[in-house]
């Protein structure tokens, strides 16, 4: 008989970290992984809202990066070295560089700096904004982990911070591309 998704092991309000340690479902690491999972879903909604082949490939790569990030966050502090030596993928500086390059390309395209953006010009831009704010929530959950005893590689924080900036720029681009408003840049790091 096939294995069921309903294991019932979480009925007591606990869940399992990557290498078997049980923790409460509201544990800070589970909150961080959950926020990244929500971000992954939000990015899926961006993909469903449209975009060309290059945009879809960029989103797919970001989702792959998020899965690696979640795997790293999903192990207990005492298992971090084990995860680092495992076959599991981890975010690399090249992943951050890819985001930086995309940001530089968008900024070079001449999007106008003109105050705060008001989301909702079209479904694609709105989906990008939802992904952006979900990224910020994930970033806040990561920032809180060291206080809970779980170290976080600085690269992970830089990646989420940069991803939020990229999504903000992509939303402005989507507003302008669809003729429903000129892209406006505000200070995305303040949001």
Number of Cβ within a 10 Å radius of residue 68: 17
Residue 3 lies inside a defined structural domain of this protein: no
* CATH code: domain of residue 171: 1.20.1200.10
Residue 78 lies inside a defined structural domain of this protein: yes
Q: How many domains does the chain have?
A: 1
Residue 11 lies inside a defined structural domain of this protein: no
Residue 77 lies inside a defined structural domain of this protein: yes
Convert the chain into a string of H (helix), E (strand) and C (coil).
Answer: CCCCCCCCCCCCCEEECCCCCEEECCCHHHHHHHHHHHHHHHHHHHHHHCCCHHHHHHHHHHHHHHHHHHHHHCCCHHHHHHHHCCCCCCCCHHHHHHHHHHHHHHHHCCCEECCCCCCCCCHHHHHHHHHHHHHHHHHHHHHHHHHHCCCCCHHHHHHHHHHHHHHHHHHHHHHHHCCCCCCEECCHHHC
Residue 4 lies inside a defined structural domain of this protein: no
Residue 113 lies inside a defined structural domain of this protein: yes
Residue 148 lies inside a defined structural domain of this protein: yes
Q: List pLDDT tens digits, range 107-131.
A: 998 876 566 777 888 999 999 999 9
Q: List pLDDT tens digits, range 63-94.
A: 999 999 999 999 988 888 888 888 999 999 99
Domain, as residue range, for 133: 16-184
Residue 89 phi, psi dihedral angles, 5° rounding? -70, 150
Q: If 0-12 CB within 10 Å is exposed, 13-18 middle and 19+ buried, where does residue 178 land?
A: middle
Please name the residues in contact with 109: beta carbons below 8 A apart, sequence gap of 6 or more: 173
> What's the mean per-residue pLDDT of the chain?
86
What's the confidence (pLDDT) of residue 105?
94
Whether 189 contacts 165, CB under 8 Å? yes
Query: Nearest CA to 17 among 155, 149, 160?
Result: 149
What's the confidence (pLDDT) of residue 115?
65
Residue 144 lies inside a defined structural domain of this protein: yes
pTM of the model: 0.85
Say if residue 179's pLDDT is above 80: no
């Amino acid at each position: 008989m096939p294995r069921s998704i309903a294991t019932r092991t979480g009925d007591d309000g606990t869940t399992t970290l990557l290498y078997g340690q049980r923790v409460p479902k509201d544990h800070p690491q589970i909150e961080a992984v959950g926020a990244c999972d929500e971000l992954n879903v939000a990015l899926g909604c961006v993909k469903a809202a449209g975009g060309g082949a290059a945009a879809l490939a960029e989103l797919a790569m970001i989702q792959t990066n998020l899965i690696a990030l979640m795997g790293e966050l999903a192990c207990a502090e005492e298992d971090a070295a084990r995860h680092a030596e495992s076959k599991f993928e981890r975010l690399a500086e090249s992943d951050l560089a890819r985001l930086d390059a995309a940001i530089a390309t968008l900024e070079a395209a001449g999007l106008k700096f003109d105050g705060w953006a008001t989301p909702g010009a079209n479904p694609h831009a709105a989906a990008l904004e939802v992904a952006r704010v979900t990224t910020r929530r994930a970033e806040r959950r990561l920032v809180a982990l060291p206080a809970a005893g779980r170290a976080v590689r600085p690269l992970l924080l830089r990646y989420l911070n940069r991803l939020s900036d990229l999504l903000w720029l992509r939303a402005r681009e989507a507003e302008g591309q669809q003729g429903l408003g000129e892209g406006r840049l505000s200070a995305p790091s303040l949001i």
